[in-house]
């Protein structure tokens, strides 16, 4: 599933891996096709409810292997629809319940109102920017670590200030954009974990991330400034 440009995450990781001096091998997995013999990093994208229903059976076929890889520390980035299916369950707006893999302790319920707009997060790899577009409202289980804390945007459900979920090296998030071109530090976090697993170490190059970092910082400043202005207006209106 990749209807919001999430394929850009795969292309970003492949390019950055070359810039770091490694040779990427990319496998595109489709429902019903065999699994590659080795997998050092897994990516999944967003899709409509109908798309999630179509990939559910295939995920069930590979569920035990996916859980084992997650427990073994394989880095994974699951966006939007795949984030939901890596949770405990996703209930569509029509009431259909799709059981998830349970790798992330989250539960999602479809709604009639979409959460759309730019997002700024505080995360373990620094500030992350992206764009959310989802109608699913996700709740974290007790003890489940979020991917980030929302500074701008709505996040998992628009109310608890969390966005995404993270267990070990598995990250689930609603951020499109796609997320990785705008956040090189997050991309390299995933690559370091994958390269260490594949080769026993990580010997990074020196890619020029000046433009990406500048764009991210400017977006953070712009969105945070707008947020403060909106908050000030609301305070004045309450008086």
Which residues are known to be catalytic? 80, 176
Is 67 annotated in a binding site? The answer is no
Cα separations in angstroms, 66 against 21, 71, 81 = 28, 9, 16
* CA–CA separation, 65 and 74 (whole Å): 11
Instruction: Give the E-state strand segments of 87-234 in sequence order.
Output: 89-91, 97-99, 106-109, 115-123, 126-134, 137-140, 148-152, 162-163, 165-167, 170-173, 175-176
What CA–CA distance (Å, rounded) separates 39 from 135? 31
Q: How much helix, strand and coil, in percent to the nearest 5, is found in the chain? A: 35, 25, 40
116 phi, psi to nearest 5 deg: -130, 140
**What whole-number distance in Å separates Cα of residue 56 and Cα of residue 5?**
21
Give 60: exposed, middle or buried? Use CB within 10 Å, 0-12, 13-18, 19+.
middle
Kind of pairing, strands 162-163 and 148-152? antiparallel
List the Cα angle 2/159/79 in 5-degree steps: 15
The annotation places the binding site at 114
The annotation places the binding site for substrate at 114
């Amino acid at each position: 599933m990749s209807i919001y440009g999430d394929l850009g995450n795969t292309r970003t990781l492949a390019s950055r891996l070359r810039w770091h001096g490694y040779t990427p091998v990319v496998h595109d997995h489709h429902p019903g096709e065999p699994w590659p013999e080795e997998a050092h990093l897994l990516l999944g994208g967003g899709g409509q409810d109908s798309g999630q229903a179509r990939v559910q059976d295939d995920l069930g076929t590979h569920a035990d292997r996916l859980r084992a890889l997650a427990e073994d520390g394989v880095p994974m980035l699951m966006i939007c629809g795949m984030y939901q299916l890596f949770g405990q369950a996703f209930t569509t707006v029509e009431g259909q319940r799709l059981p998830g893999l349970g790798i992330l302790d989250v539960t999602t319920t479809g709604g009639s109102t979409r959460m759309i707009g730019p997002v700024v997060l505080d995360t373990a790899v620094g500030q992350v920017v992206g764009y959310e577009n989802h109608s699913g409202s996700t709740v974290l289980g007790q003890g489940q670590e979020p991917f980030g804390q929302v500074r701008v945007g709505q996040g998992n459900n628009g109310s608890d200030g969390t966005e995404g979920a993270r267990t070990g090296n598995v990250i689930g998030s609603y951020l499109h954009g796609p997320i990785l071109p705008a956040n090189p530090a997050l991309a390299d976090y995933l690559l370091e974990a994958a390269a260490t697993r594949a080769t026993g170490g990580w010997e990074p190059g020196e890619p020029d991330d000046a433009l990406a970092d500048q764009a991210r910082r400017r977006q953070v400043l712009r969105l945070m400034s707008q947020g403060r202005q909106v908050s000030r207006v609301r305070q004045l209106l309450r008086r």
